[in-house]
Structures are given as C-alpha cells and as structure tokens.
Amino acid sequence: MGMSEKKNPNPSKFETLEVSNFLRQIIDADLAAGKHAKRVDQAGQALPSVITRFPPEPNGYLHIGHAKSICLNFGLARDYANAPNGARCHMRFDDTNPSKEETEYVDSIIDAVRWLGFDWVQNGVEHQHYASDYFDQLYAFAEALIEAGKAYIDSQTADEIHKNRGNFGQLGTNSPFRNRSPAENIELFRDMKAGKYPDGAHVLRLKIDMSHPNIVLRDPVIYRIRHAHHHRTGDKWCIYPLYDFTHCISDALENITHSICTLEFENNRPLYDWVLEALKECGVFKDPLPKQYEFARLNLTYAITSKRKLLQLVEEKRVDGWDDPRMPTIVGIRRRGFTPESIRLFCERIGVSKADSWIDMSVLEQALRDDLEAKAERAFAVLKPLKLIIDNFDDQAEEPCSAPKHPHHEDWGRREFTLSKELWIEADDFMVEPIKGFFRLYPPKDGQPGSRVRLRHGFVIECTGYDTDANGQVIAVHAQYFADSKSGTPESNNYKVKGNLHWVNARSAIKAEVRIYDRLFTDPHPDSGDKNFLDAMNPNSKEVLTAYLEPSIADVQAEQRIQFERHGYFVADRIDHTSSNPVFNFCVGLKDNWK
C-alpha cells in the first residue's frame, strides 16, 4: 500500500522522517489497546487496524491544501503498513450533491492523487469508493431511523426551517410537523423518493434537540428533494442525502478507523457520533465505530485555496486555466515544475496540528529547491541575450568545451558544447557604466582596461568595447580572449577574475520560449478580512522570454527539470514542450530572494 519502494528507488532523505503528531499518538494508543485488531468484513476477512480515507467532493480541481490532507491520510496508511492486518487509505468521492459534480473532476482528482505517489490498492483490491454507491443503504438506514422515531419529515419552507433553528443566543423552535407518526413519516418519505413532490416541499430531519447549545444538533436535515441528474446514478434518485448523514455512514460502511478532517468540522463531530450510535441501536453498525479527528487546514501565504475563487480566476481568464503554473492547484504546481517528492517533503515539514496557522509560500518553494538540488541536471541558458564578439578568435574555430551534468554526480557524465567567435551572454552581465561592486563585463574607460571575466568552462576574456544602435541601445559587446586561459588547463590558474559568466554559442544555441513566473498575489493574505483578492493580483506574475539554450537541451523531455546555471530551476512544459519547439517554465530560484 502507498508508495512502493519500486516506484520510488531514491526516496529523499526527508521522506523517511516520521515526525510524531497528535494523530499518530491516537493511532499508537488504539493499536496498543488493540481497538481495531479483531474486526472482520462481511466475508469474514480480517480488517486492517488502520483504515483512513481521503474524501474529496468532485466539484473542482484539488489544490495544495488538499495535498496536505492526501499526504496525511495516505501517508498514515503507508507508515502503519506493519500494523496488525496492515493499513490502507480509501479514495472516496463524496458525490452526494448532484448538480455540481462532474466526471471531469473525478478524473482530475484520481490523476492528482496518483501523481503525488499514492494508490488505494491493498492485496490487489482497489479501494475506490463513491458516496453515491451507498444511496440504497443510506435510504434504508434513513427508514430505520424513521421507524425508530429518530427522524421525521418536516414540511416547513426552507426559510421557516432556517428561522426556527435559532442561533447562538436563541434556542430553536420545534417544527409543527415534529410529532408525525413513524407510519406517516415513512409514507411521506417513500412518496418523496417516488418523485411525488417538487424540490423543497419536504425534508427529512433527525429528531435530536431544537434547544441544543450546538446548533448542528438542532434537528439537522439529512435528506432533501432535488430533481437533478447525478453523474453516476443518473435519474434514479430525486432525493439526496446531506453531508453530515452521508459521511459518517460511508466511513462506517468502509470500516474506516480514523476519519480525519479539517477543524471546521469540529462542531459536526457530535452529530457524526449521534448518527452512528443511533444506527448501532438499530442494529446496523457495531463497535468499534469510526471516530472523527480534526486537524488545522493549510493556509498558505500569497495564495488562495477557495474553490470558488480559483474558479473565478479561471472563468475570468485572469490565469491561463486550472493548470496555469501560477495556480495553487495540484495541476498548476505540477506544471510549474513541482515534483511529487517536493510536495510530500513540504507536507512532512509543515506537520499536522490542531492550531490554525499560516505557512509561508517560501516553505513550499524551499521544498522544491531542496528536492531539485540533487536531481536536476545543469545547463546554460541565456534568458535576455546580448551578443558577445571575441574579436581575436578565429572566424571558423569551434572550441570544444564540457561541463559536468551535475557538480556532485560526476558519474552522470558531461555536457559537450563549443565556443566560437560569437556568443550570447546575459544582457545584465554587461554595464557601460559599472556600478560599485559590479564584477562582470564593462568597457575600458579613462585609460583603464575593460574588465576581465571567465566564460564558464571556457576562456578568460577582457572587454574591449561595445556597439550601439541608433537609439544608443547596446547591441553587442566586444572582447578579446586569452588562448592559454582555458578552464581545466594548468595555465588557467594564472588568471584571477571576479566574474564568472554563463554563455551559449550563437551558432549552435537552441532558441526556446521561457516563461518566467512570479507569485500571483503581492499581498500575503490576498483574501483575508473584506479584501477583494483581485486587487492583490501581481501584474507582473508572468513574463515570456525568447531565450538561447545550450545544445544539450535538445534531449530534454517534457516535464524534465533542469537547473539553468545562475538562474534557477526550470521545467520543460508538460503540455507545450517539444524537441523542435522547446518551452520551459521557471520553477524556483536558486535562493529565496523574494521581497
């Protein structure tokens, strides 16, 4: 279960780090007490001592907050694989809301969770479930609760139900329909199911306590009429169960042991327990019942994780779709170049707690940097090109040069390229009037020679001048080279220079589209208080450049990550990159220098 060693032969050193947290302590205590040790399924098969689930509603694309929940739930199943009868995590689609859910979202969710490195197969059995698979059982259990006098049909309008629920300081008022007999309730419920009533005519409510201090327990609605098509059950149903009823029952039917959710469900926990206890009394379930535990959701600075707001960004075309590399969606951060390992590492580092807090975006970025440092091959890329002409270099000569693919993995081999008379260098690496502390290229002035720099893995050059166009814009830099200064030769040590520039040969460079991304928002809390998150959008979060890359780039496959020396990490775009039309996205810089 979980990530097999086979799929992940080089787990990051952080990955085995198992930091304890309050959930692990609960599971450890349950294991020590043997709480779930003797359970068997309907076929008499022993059940795992730890079963968790990840229960998204298929009404949008998953985002980085969901990744925290995925890594937590699937991670627990992976880490407790040695518990009695093992452990597993179910992939469950919480698809009780007919109109908002779509198969497109189901597919994207499956894709995202698999990509993060998890699966839901144990002993060859797939544990992919849908709440809609339980509609028949949910209906039967609702009838059982009606028979037991624990549920009733209410025929008040939605407004009346809302008003009579009361609020914090005000107790609720019993519905005039609260004392209908079980027989009358059953008949009405069956007629609701049979489609005899329009939407909103009746609802089924639990009969708990209209003056309970916890408003959630004031006779919650558990079924409503919705004449709507469902993505899996079609038109079979016109009544649909609500979350609080469905979720705990789905957990119990799947023999979930630890049902982990975010803190906003804390008030719903007594209802979770109430429903399962009531069904236990009806003989439907038995101990040990699943238990709900809450943890603090991920709040990430410079990002928004509301599905509604993310949808708005997409629909108003403020980003280039769900998988825009600036989006905090899993498809977005994947396209940005994040690896599954980096996201798992991030989730390990932020940990799990019961206290709400903010995690800085730089923590996510650092996790990617730390993962890619050891993995990404190096290459030269000139992002804002300026021509460099070495006037004393032979017109036809092509000097072979090479550099390691990775400075700490000589075994990965070397990149081969050539140096010629005309090169591309970074426009920023030349200044007509150097500012203090600028050690790169600048021309001779007032009898002082121009600066000397090393062309990495090539020769030392000295700047001799530059050309400008009619507007005074620098269009080329001139230099001379020192033939005995080649990198790797003993004589090269005679040259001491402060600048060390990357470059590409203008004759053999590969032209590429490079997309430079920055944070989507300039405000760390773009949607806090009554701020409009659209006001905080960074107008410079995307810049498209035409860059020149060294020839070894020709072999790069889509989704391969590379370190462009001195610039940072880049990924070959998984959609648009081809060997004849290379496209790279900026992932993250070499250092955290976001201000």
Rounded Cα distance, 15 and 9, in Å: 12
> Which member of 11, 14, 21, 57 binds ligand ATP (CB under 6 A)?
57
CB 110 within 8 A of CB 91: yes
CB of 342 to ligand ATP, least distance (A): 17
User: Least CB distance from residue 309 to ligand ATP, whole Å?
Assistant: 11
Please, which residue, 1 or 113, has the CB nearer to ligand ATP? 113
Candidates 68, 129, 440, 567: give the one binding ligand ATP (CB under 6 A): 68
Site pattern 91..130 for ligand ATP (x: CB under 6 A): ----------------------------------------
Out of 55, 337, 385, 458, name the contact with ligand ATP by CB under 6 A: 55
Active site residue 57: yes
> Least distance to ligand ATP from the beta carbon of 116, Å?
13
Alpha-carbon torsion angle 180, 186, 190, 195, nearest 10? 10
Binding mask 10-49 for ligand ATP (x = CB under 6 A): ----------------------------------------
Catalytic residue among 15, 24, 35, 57: 57
As a whole number of angstroms, the distance between CA 416 and CA 400 comes to 7
Of 205, 148, 135, residue with least CA distance to 177: 205
307 is catalytic: yes
Nearer to ligand ATP, 55 or 98 (CB): 55
Is 261 a residue that touches ligand ATP (CB under 6 A)?
yes
254 is catalytic: no
Give CA–CA dist 537/358, Å, rounded. Answer: 19
State yes or no: residue 65 binds ligand ATP (CB under 6 A). yes
Which helix (H) or strand (E) is 300 found in, with range? strand 299-300
Closest to ligand ATP by CB, 2 vs 55, is 55
* Of positions 173, 262, 362, 500, contacts ligand ATP by CB under 6 A: 262
Amino acid at 294: E
**Residue nearest ligand ATP, Cβ-based:** 65
Q: Using the minimum distance from each CB to ligand ATP, give the nearer residue, 241 or 443.
A: 241
Chain centroid to CA 28: how far?
28
Verify cis geometry, omega within 30 degrees of 0, for the bond prior to 524.
Answer: no
For strand 203-206 and strand 151-154, is the pairing parallel, antiparallel, or unpaired?
A: antiparallel
Of 73 and 185, the one with the shorter C-beta distance to ligand ATP is 73
In 394-541, beta strands by DSSP E: 399-404, 414-419, 422-426, 452-455, 460-468, 474-481, 499-501, 503-505, 510-517
Selected from 36, 39, 66, 129, the binder of ligand ATP by CB under 6 A is: 66
User: In the bound complex, what is the minimum distance in angstroms from residue 252's beta carbon to ligand ATP?
Assistant: 17
Q: Which of 178, 232, 280, 297 is catalytic?
A: 297
Q: In whole angstroms, what is the distance from residue 544 CA to residue 551 CA?
A: 21
Which is closer to ligand ATP, CB of 156 or CB of 262?
A: 262
Beta strands in 312-394 (DSSP E): 358-359, 377-379, 381-382, 385-390
Nearer to ligand ATP (CB atom), residue 91 or residue 153: 91
**Contact stretch for ligand ATP (CB under 6 A) within 21-29, 65-73, 160-168, 436-444:** 65-73
Provide, rounded to whole angstroms, the least separation between the CB of residue 195 and ligand ATP. Answer: 28
Q: Cβ contacts of residue 301 below 8 Å, gap of 6+?
A: 358, 359, 360, 361, 524, 525
Which of residues 90, 307, 336, 574 is near ligand ATP by CB under 6 A? 307
Q: Which is nearer to ligand ATP, 292 or 552 (CB)?
A: 292
C-alpha pair distances (Å), 515 with each of 42, 104, 324? 55, 28, 11
Minimal distance, residue 293 CB to ligand ATP, in Å = 11
Distance in Å, CB of 54 to ligand ATP, minimum: 6
Q: Cβ-count burial of 326 within 10 angstroms (0-12 exposed, 13-18 middle, 19+ buried)?
A: buried
From 85, 305, 342, 485, residue interacting with ligand ATP (rule: CB under 6 A): 305
Choose the catalytic residue: 68, 205, 218, 307.
307
335 in contact with ligand ATP (CB under 6 A) = no
Compute the distance between CA of residue 380 and CA of residue 370 in angstroms, rounded to an integer: 20
3-state secondary structure of 481: strand
- Shortest distance, position 184 Cβ to ligand ATP, whole Å: 35
- In angstroms, what is the C-alpha Rg of the chain? 31
What sign does the dihedral 76-78-83-84 (CA atoms) show? positive
Residues paired with 569 in a beta bridge: 563, 588
DSSP 188: H
Q: Would you say 374 and 102 are in contact if contact means Cβ atoms under 8 Å apart?
A: no
Question: Which of these ranges, 63-71, 77-85, 195-203, 543-551, lies near ligand ATP under the rule CB under 6 A?
Answer: 63-71
| Shortest spacing between CB 498 and ligand ATP, in angstroms | 47
Question: Given the rule CB under 6 A, which of 50-58, 460-468, 523-531, 585-593 is the region that contacts ligand ATP?
Answer: 50-58
Which residues of the chain form contacts with ligand ATP (CB under 6 A)?
Answer: 55-57, 59, 65-66, 68-69, 261-262, 297-298, 305, 307
Which residues are designated catalytic? 57, 297, 307
